[in-house]
Chains A and B, each alone.
Chain A
């Protein structure tokens, strides 16, 4: 893991107040490390300047891979490897391949996306993330700053920012 970071964070009781604070921080050009919330807060992403997730592209790619795998495999089996006539139909009976092709498209896309999701988020079985505050998964909305190398006055400035924007608590933690 990377070296320890010193984090200054404020906890807000309400997502609306927190979002106003984030807006203010962006106006003041404060460098927010991350925002942690107990549930997905809609409208936060554009304020925070997060670009849209590209996860669905992974879904498409894996889905296409599933389509090709299923269709080409069945084609290979019934035209090259071991052609068998079923019910007088042609070897390469495309309509009959559709259900399995569809199922594998969905299967590949889903598994691929889920694996991609956990990988890019750095989450997975056995991962232990540093916890800023245990109430973040309950009812607190946390705005965090990485204050490594910040001067006294910069930190005071951040603290002032928290008190001006209605944070209910401000803490420092090394993670």
Chain B
């Protein structure tokens, strides 16, 4: 039995879907004629893109003098936009890699689109270093290659070069990860298509068959890529922050930059994922796959990372004062009270204060507030980079060289152009590939479909157990449902639970094989909805304790600590290992 039903989790797939419904819902947007909204969106994005290309051509033709940068302020909108886009490109790999390692099932609803977003954002970011060097035609000087100048190599000790390696690696690995995830879904598209379309998707799907061995390797590959991408995603923005932190500019030369930048990147990335997903789910009718629960989970990440960023801002201020170093103190005084004070206010209010509204569950689950806040954060994080870059440079060591900087229309045009690139690619992506990972959503259906868990879990059984259904609903909507709270509802829920699992599992395992569980306790567990080894393996120890405690004094002395682990072995068929372990255990206790 692979289906594991947890009553503590809320459903992630709504609408009582079958596997075929999932295929139908997620693939069909790529098969229909584009909607009017899509066409208008594409035309808008393409016009921004065209204007951006024009501005880039202008820059290359006339040189970066067109940007009004000066010898004091050498980095302006270009690097601000670069860091902003790179930051946005962090959520995708975080969702697909780190959440995969943490076995967070809600990632399946959003990972595909978030990874696509990552790739497009990194592309937009990579544009800026390419053009801000001025002579874009010799941009290959970035790379170490045997040349006629000695050969004279690039400086491998420079953070700017590390950045080049970090971003190219990040882009490549994200692309491989994303495409490997897409291959089985392209096969699904292929098998529904005909004619030229079938040929194209046959090419894209690499001849995928769905063989058990291929799936096994595919999962192994995903897991290792996730393991590799996790430190990678942390390294990328760390290295971006080194661009600043290893310099000797007051306000940049701080050791807090790496964690501060990484938290900020995740923060802004999630904001952009939310902006896009809220629009996408509405237009493509994916509300049953990208549910309020998904949005709430992402808002929790936003609240956490936003607060980390806030702590970093305050730490910076404190350390600047505490250091006693007058240039550092002035740099921060200048950020808060200097001529660019408005950008500091924008940063503080959008990034630190505003997300605090997500302490309220109601606002966390509100589409309107989430969308509003995601835009706010995108703006705030842009200001953060502007504060760090332009504000700091504007007032450096020598008052005689202080300067002022405003962007020109060319710079604004390039920024809008990258927006155009990003949205054009995203819109094309929504037409070519399923925006939600089809195979991965299918694989969590039985553990997260709303016919199996949550308030609608037993739609077919309403006549039999109306009370149970209500209780289960109450449990599902608890604010921070801990297992301890669940305990209170346990006896009544027991009835509900057996209903819940009915459609999933007619199979029942002999739980007595787990040392420490006798026939009585087995009955109790089965009444509480734990029917199989897999379910027991997934059960939390406090939940098991609560089941025992509810059952009366006789059972309270039992210690279920090892039960889930024993059950895991049983579920995986590792009987010999289990036997060996049980020999070491004393009545099922450690």
A104 to B235, CA, bound (A): 12
- Whether A111 and B176, one on each chain, are in contact in the complex, defined by CB atoms closer than 8 angstroms, is yes
- Whether B176 and A114, one on each chain, are in contact in the complex, defined by CB atoms closer than 8 angstroms, is yes
Residue in chain B with minimal CB distance to A131: B191
- Whether A137 and B153, one on each chain, are in contact in the complex, defined by CB atoms closer than 8 angstroms, is no
- Whether A99 and B166, one on each chain, are in contact in the complex, defined by CB atoms closer than 8 angstroms, is yes
Which chain A positions have C-beta within 8 A of B157?
A: 86-87, 89, 93, 96
A146 to B350, CA, bound (A): 63
A154 to B235, CA, bound (A): 59
Residue in chain B with minimal CB distance to A118: B206
A86-B155, A103-B165, A106-B228 known; A55+B235 contact, CB < 8 A: no
A50 to B219, CA, bound (A): 14
**Range of interface residues on chain A?**
35 or more
Q: Is A65 an interface position by the 8 A CB rule?
A: no
Residue in chain A with minimal CB distance to B20: A139
Which of these, A19, A96, A117, A138, contacts B188 with CB under 8 Å? A138
Q: Counting chain A CB atoms within 10 Å of each CB, which of B18, B168, B212 scores highest?
A: B212
- Whether A77 and B169, one on each chain, are in contact in the complex, defined by CB atoms closer than 8 angstroms, is no
Which chain B positions have C-beta within 8 A of A68?
A: none
Interface hits, A7-64 → B, CB 8 Å? 15-16, 19, 34-48, 50, 53, 55-56, 59, 63
Kindly provide the distance from the CB of B229 to the nearest chain A CB, expressed in whole angstroms: 8
Could you mark each residue 68-110 of chain A with 1 if its beta carbon is under 8 Å from any beta carbon of chain B, else 0?
0000001001100110101101000100110110111011011
Which chain B positions have C-beta within 8 A of A43?
A: 1-2, 534, 571-573
A37-B210, A45-B212 known; A15+B231 contact, CB < 8 A: no
Mark the stretch among B249-257, B381-389, B438-446 that contacts chain A.
B438-446
- Whether A38 and B439, one on each chain, are in contact in the complex, defined by CB atoms closer than 8 angstroms, is yes
Which chain A positions have C-beta within 8 A of B161?
A: 100
Which chain A positions have C-beta within 8 A of B313?
A: none
A139 to B507, CA, bound (A): 21
Which chain B positions have C-beta within 8 A of A128?
A: 202, 207
Residue in chain B with minimal CB distance to A117: B221
Kindly provide the distance from the CB of B30 to the nearest chain A CB, expressed in whole angstroms: 14
A48 to B211, CA, bound (A): 12
Q: Is B195 an interface position by the 8 A CB rule?
A: no
- Whether A38 and B2, one on each chain, are in contact in the complex, defined by CB atoms closer than 8 angstroms, is no
A82-B152, A111-B176, A113-B221 known; A125+B23 contact, CB < 8 A: no
Which chain B positions have C-beta within 8 A of A40?
A: 215-216, 218-219, 439, 443
- Whether A104 and B165, one on each chain, are in contact in the complex, defined by CB atoms closer than 8 angstroms, is yes
Kindly provide the distance from the CB of A113 to the nearest chain B CB, expressed in whole angstroms: 6
Q: Is B19 an interface position by the 8 A CB rule?
A: yes
Which chain B positions have C-beta within 8 A of A138?
A: 19-20, 23, 188, 191-192
Mark the stretch among B57-65, B179-187, B282-290, B361-369 that contacts chain A.
B179-187
Q: Is B401 an interface position by the 8 A CB rule?
A: no
Kindly provide the distance from the CB of B508 to the nearest chain A CB, expressed in whole angstroms: 12
5 interchain residue pairs of minimum CB distance = A127-B207, A139-B19, A96-B157, A134-B191, A53-B220
Interface, chain A (partner B; CB < 8 A): 15-16, 19, 34-48, 50, 53, 55-56, 59, 63, 74, 77-78, 81-82, 84, 86-87, 89, 93, 96-97, 99-100, 102-104, 106-107, 109-111, 113-114, 117-118, 120-129, 131, 134-139, 142
4 extra A-B contacts, CB within 8 A, seeds A40-B219, A114-B176: A47-B573, A53-B217, A99-B239, A138-B19
User: What are some 22 contacts across the A-B interface (CB < 8 A)?
Assistant: A16-B507, A34-B212, A35-B211, A40-B215, A41-B443, A53-B217, A82-B150, A82-B152, A87-B157, A99-B159, A103-B166, A103-B235, A106-B231, A107-B169, A109-B224, A110-B173, A123-B214, A124-B206, A124-B207, A137-B191, A138-B192, A139-B20
